[in-house]
């Protein structure tokens, strides 16, 4: 049953543009995307890492709340 739900979510979320967020939320983004890159031999793609799962914090937000947050590593 869980596998069936997962497969249904895959198609539904892909159509709605939510697939990436589902993969990140369920901690399947790194293995799933690296498998696609490997199986399709995508040039210039080295795979994704945990850093690729984070968006940068907008500068305006950091200026509004000084000292509250620091920028994610790599940004």
What band does 3 get if pLDDT is binned at 50, 70 and 90?
low
What band does 30 get if pLDDT is binned at 50, 70 and 90?
very high
> From CA 70, how far away is CA 64, in angstroms rounded?
12
DSSP summary character for residue 30: H
pTM: 0.64
Q: What share of the chain is helix, strand, coil (3-state, %, to 5)?
A: 60, 0, 40
Which residue would you say has higher pLDDT here, 22 or 7? 22
């Amino acid at each position: 049953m869980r596998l069936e739900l997962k497969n249904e979510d895959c198609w539904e979320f892909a159509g709605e543009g939510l697939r990436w967020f589902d993969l990140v939320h369920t901690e399947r983004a790194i293995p799933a995307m690296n498998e696609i890159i490997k199986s399709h031999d995508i040039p210039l793609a080295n795979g994704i890492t945990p850093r690729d799962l984070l968006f940068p914090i907008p500068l305006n937000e950091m200026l509004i709340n000084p000292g509250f947050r620091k920028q994610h590593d790599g940004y």
